[in-house]
Structure 1
Amino acid sequence: MESPDLRTWTRNVRRAIDMARGRVWLIAHSFGCLDSVRAAADRLDRIAGAMLVAPVDPFKFRAAGLLRVGPFPFPSVVVASANDPWMRLTSAAYWSEQWGSRLLNLGVAGYINVDAGFGPWPEGLEIFRALRAVAKDGQRIGDSTPATRHRAFHTRKYAKRN
């Protein structure tokens, strides 16, 4: 992983949010999840929802103190795996709880990238569609609604393909 620059990357995400018309969906991977969370913190009214895939552990990058603590006012999901080398599942669960996000554990899926055996990921698109359905219903991801019980939020079908 290249040496990330949280300030610069966050500034770029903020700029993209500001340039967009209307509310935006944040879909991020790895360190981009930290940037997206940080950028969204002062633009909460501009965010429709967030899908954070394989976030890195903020403590590994001395970034934990820079991140929002408290539930997002929009639906969100953290997609993680049991053996991600950049974020332990217990840390993913902690941050999911902090943000009020649904945690989707893909099981033994590695870092959820090409090196871990992922290529085109139609299941990821299905997860995003389910997240949008939750937002359309005006619910937070943790609320008990038919949308949150959508099959896309269940882990067994998302194991990496061999």
Structure 2
Amino acid sequence: MYKMIRIFIFLLISFFLFFIWLGSDHQDTVSNRQTTATLSGKITDKESAQNCLDLVKKNLAAATEKNLEAYLATLSDKAQADTKKELSSIDSYDLEHELIAFKVLEQRPDSLFVEAFQRTNNQGTTHYQNHIAQIHYTFMIEAGEWKITDAIITNIEQID
């Protein structure tokens, strides 16, 4: 009887550790994929540019994780209002987003204009075309924090 209890506890701990490992492995992969881009371009204030790069990474992580609250927190008030209307299909797809380039085109003390390239891969069964999008982001300071005020897709290259 004692041996059966030990085997049961061993199996229980093994399953527990397996699921912890499985969960942390996926999180590391998502995190690593979203950090491949580095700062480049016409940077006059590295700290502000880095804050905006980090903001896009948070935005993409929230989109990948389908965390609507965190996603909207990266946007300006006006962009939040405009975006809420368009997010009805967020749960329809299982997508992974990766920022692969972040180039500052113009930087001012209260605004930043960036060209970025973002890879989006379908992780689910619903049809969605994998692609790399060229996106022009505009950032502005709102209530003392950098926020995304605009994101315009200027080119899409389908992959796979």
TM-score normalized with structure 2 length: 0.31
TM-score normalized with structure 1 length: 0.30
- Larger Rg belongs to: 2
Structure with higher strand content: 2
